[in-house]
Amino acid sequence: MVSAVFHAPLEATRQSAEEKQALRQAQGERSDAMRGEPDRDQREPVSPARDPGADSVRAEPVEAPATAPAPTPHRTRRNPIDWREFWLHVLPPLAGVELLIGVWALSTQKGGAFPTPAATFDAAWKLFADPFYRNGPNDQGIGWNVLNSLERVGLGFGLAALVGIPLGFLIGRFAVLDRMASPIVSLLKPVSPLAWLPIGLLVFKSANPAAIWTIFICSIWPMVINTAVGVQRVPQDYLNVARVLNLSEWRVATRILLPAVMPYLLTGVRLSVGTAWLVIVAAEMLTGGVGIGFWVWDEWNNLNVAHIIVAIFVIGFVGLLLEWALMALARRFEYA
Amino acid sequence: MKPMLQISDVGMTFPTKRGPFVALRDVSLDVSRGEFVSLIGHSGCGKSTLLNLVAGLTVPTAGLLLLDGRELRGPGPDRGVVFQNHSLLPWLSCTGNVLLAVERVFGERESRAQLRDRALAALELVGLTHAKDKLPGEISGGMKQRVGIARALAMQPKMLLMDEPFGALDALTRARLQDELMKIVAATGSTVMMVTHDVDEAVLLSDRIVMLTNGPAATIGEVRAVPLPPLREAPRNRLEMAHDAGYLATRERVLEFLYRKQAHVEAHTA
């Protein structure tokens, strides 16, 4: 569940997305749409979000004239929107979603415990009509539940960042510390959050701090590892500059290491936030109280499956929003 | 007149897994103020090692290096270094990169505005005022190298140390930057020590050429003065040099040293 795998910074993932785009264009011309599409959409869950018109228009001028047998519209000076390209990117994701809903509707046609898409949509409508009601400590609107969960995530993740990033710096900079920390990190990294939860309950004796502790201990690893690797991969060139200018250790850290490490650091942060959001839902299911995870378990106890499905979508959507926000932040720090 | 830089019997031995590796031995050289000295030799002859010693990035295992009578202890802003790959920080603009050096040297005594003026003056010296706010990723290789030179000069160092500064550039840009460098030296009167592979570049730019023998255990084989007026007084025109007797004679001597006397390169430089 918790995988602190080192990911290369934003650049590599974006490049591979453009390569896949070029490939898709070439294939799309040859056969009509759906061959192999569902697989691709699942492998790249971020792509519908990440390549709206702008990206495709940018990538297209290089690829399209070479690969497309059917000529694209002749570009005038004012560069009009290529509607064909646009629909080629918007329709497949929509088709995928529709296919999913279609399969869902077909399989729930005969009734049973699993709700139909229509029933789920109905329930969702009611839920979102009044997301911020309060009827008591355990009966709140879905909006409050999400916010409560986000608050815990914020605290746990914030603490993890505060501890993990400086630790990553130290581990990356000083080989001795790296050798000291390496076995501990490797050992604790793959541990499931649910195994950490009892320890949190034991030490803190309360659900809220225990959940925050669980988020902390699970989301800290990507930040430590990515920051450490980033520091180790700072090009020797920059360190040479620091040496000939005879900069103090503090200046080296703030003026050279920090900007150079930033892409790696932000990738670590992205992974951590994803992990933290994952963990909070699981932790809340076990500890109860308030929050979206607790709500899921509560609705299961009420056998309100439609609400559970709505919760799944909400959790996924909030996770996506968090990811987008951090990617936007990461783009601000791109300089290469 | 006392020379500015004195290298006395300097030797450099590196400890390696296969035993101590002698890179340089018995190197003695004096460089006067305002002089342009080139270090030339085959690959692996220790030119960069010698430059690193003068820059203070390495400490010699034998001998002494004195700058204005004081022993060199580590790198410092009194020797500005220009690397072969420009080593510009890609998140800072050209001005920002030069400011990094300026702040280091003058940061305590001067205001932000004054520091910025220094940085802009250095960029003007290398002809890059129009690109002052651009990032290194947005400018060409030649421009990046010029920013590197501006950064070194902005510190107002006693010596400018250049390690094959134009090696990574194409021939036309190289020629252009050599001309720029001549103008800069004429304007600032800097003392320069340059490592190069290129015989023509060495003869064109130097007042003296130091030819190193082949490594390992390289030493100074020959030092030749270029029979032309000092570079800081009179920038040289490369087209005229093609006919100048002094230029051609020096060039021939250097080539003879490198390719006849030191012909057995491959056996030593593995």
How far A81 CA sits from the closest chain B CA (Å)? 28
Q: Which of A238, A245, A256 to mutate to test the interface with B (most CBs of B within 10 A)?
A: A245
Instruction: Determine, for residues A335 and B90 on separate chains, whether the beta-carbon distance falls below 8 Å.
Output: yes
Nearest-CA residue of chain B relative to A259? Answer: B91
Nearest-CA residue of chain B relative to A241? Answer: B87
Task: Flag the least confident range among A35-44, A202-211, A246-255.
Answer: A35-44
Mean pLDDT to the nearest integer, B126-146: 91
Q: Which of A240, A245, A256 sits opposite B101 (nearest CB)?
A: A245
Instruction: Determine, for residues A256 and B89 on separate chains, whether the beta-carbon distance falls below 8 Å.
Output: yes
Q: How far apart are CA A98 and CA A78, in angstroms?
A: 35
Instruction: Determine, for residues A244 and B75 on separate chains, whether the beta-carbon distance falls below 8 Å.
Output: yes
How do beta strands A139-140 and B70-71 pair? unpaired
Q: Is B87 on the interface with A (CB under 8 A)?
A: yes
Instruction: Determine, for residues A247 and B104 on separate chains, whether the beta-carbon distance falls below 8 Å.
Output: yes
Q: Decide if B139 contacts B130 (C-beta within 8 A).
A: no
Task: Flag the least confident range among A51-65, B21-35, B62-76, B247-261.
Answer: A51-65
pLDDT at position A273 over 60 = yes
- Options 3.90.1150.10, 3.30.479.10, 3.40.1190.20, 3.40.50.300; CATH of B1-78+157-270: 3.40.50.300
> Alpha carbon A164 to chain centroid distance?
19
Q: Is A140 helix (H, G, I), strand (E, B) or coil?
A: strand
The share of chain A scoring above pLDDT 90, in percent, equals 20
Q: Which of A246, A255, A260 sits opposite B77 (nearest CB)?
A: A246
| Domain extents in chain B | 1-78+157-270, 85-154
How far B178 CA sits from the closest chain A CA (Å)? 23
Nearest-CA residue of chain B relative to A255? Answer: B100
Q: Decide if B206 contacts B251 (C-beta within 8 A).
A: no
User: Tens digit of pLDDT for each residue in A157-199?
Assistant: 999 999 999 999 999 989 999 999 999 999 998 988 888 989 9
Quick one: which of B92, B84, B170, B94 has its CA closest to A336?
B92
Dump strand ranges (E) for chain B.
5-16, 19-31, 36-40, 62-67, 70-71, 79-82, 159-163, 191-196, 208-212, 220-225
* Whole-number pLDDT of residue A33: 44
Instruction: Determine, for residues A237 and B87 on separate chains, whether the beta-carbon distance falls below 8 Å.
Output: yes
Mean pLDDT of chain B, nearest integer: 88
Architecture of the domain defined by A134-332: Orthogonal Bundle (1.10)
| Domain extents in chain A | 14-107, 134-332
- DSSP category for residue B164: S
Nearest-CA residue of chain A relative to B101? Answer: A245
Q: Is B90 on the interface with A (CB under 8 A)?
A: yes
* Whole-number pLDDT of residue A19: 53
Q: Is B162 helix (H, G, I), strand (E, B) or coil?
A: strand
Residue B13: how many other CB atoms lie within 10 Å: 17
Task: Flag the least confident range among B80-84, B129-133, B154-158, B259-263.
Answer: B259-263
pLDDT tier at B115 (50, 70, 90 boundaries)?
very high
Nearest-CA residue of chain A relative to B85? Answer: A237
User: Tens digit of pLDDT for each residue in B220-252?
Assistant: 888 999 998 888 888 888 888 889 999 999 999
Contacts by residues B125-133 (CB-CB < 8 Å, ≥ 24 positions apart): B125/B150, B125/B153, B125/B184, B125/B187, B125/B188, B126/B150, B126/B153, B126/B180, B126/B184, B127/B180, B128/B94, B131/B94, B132/B93, B132/B94, B132/B95, B133/B93, B133/B94, B133/B95
Classify burial at B154, counting beta carbons within 10 Å of its beta carbon; exposed 0-12, middle 13-18, buried 19 or more.
Answer: buried
User: Tens digit of pLDDT for each residue in B206-225?
Assistant: 999 999 988 788 888 889 99
Classify burial at B194, counting beta carbons within 10 Å of its beta carbon; exposed 0-12, middle 13-18, buried 19 or more.
Answer: buried
pLDDT tier at B120 (50, 70, 90 boundaries)?
very high
Q: How far is CA B186 from CA A49, B116, B145, in A?
A: 58, 24, 19
Nearest-CA residue of chain B relative to A237? Answer: B87
Nearest-CA residue of chain B relative to A243? Answer: B75
Q: How far apart are CA A319 and CA A327, in angstroms?
A: 12
Q: What is the DSSP string of A26-88?
A: HHHHHS-S-TTHHHHHHH-TTHHHH-SHHHHHHHHHHHHHHH-SSPPPPP-TT----HHHHHH
* Whole-number pLDDT of residue B1: 65
pLDDT at position A214 over 80 = yes
Q: Which of A240, A245, A260 sits opposite B100 (nearest CB)?
A: A245
How far A47 CA sits from the closest chain B CA (Å)? 27
Q: Decide if A302 contacts A214 (C-beta within 8 A).
A: no
Judging contacts by C-beta atoms under 8 Å, the chain A residues touching residue B135 are 335
Instruction: Determine, for residues A246 and B74 on separate chains, whether the beta-carbon distance falls below 8 Å.
Output: yes
ipTM of this complex prediction, to 2 decimal places: 0.79
Q: How far apart are CA A132 and CA A336, in angstroms?
A: 44
Q: Is B85 on the interface with A (CB under 8 A)?
A: yes
User: Tens digit of pLDDT for each residue in A90-148?
Assistant: 889 899 999 999 998 888 888 778 888 888 888 888 888 887 877 776 677 888 888 88
Instruction: Determine, for residues A245 and B104 on separate chains, whether the beta-carbon distance falls below 8 Å.
Output: yes
Query: Considering only CB atoms, which residues of chain A are within 8 Å of chain B?
Result: 237-238, 240-241, 243-247, 255-256, 259-260, 335-336
- DSSP category for residue B33: T
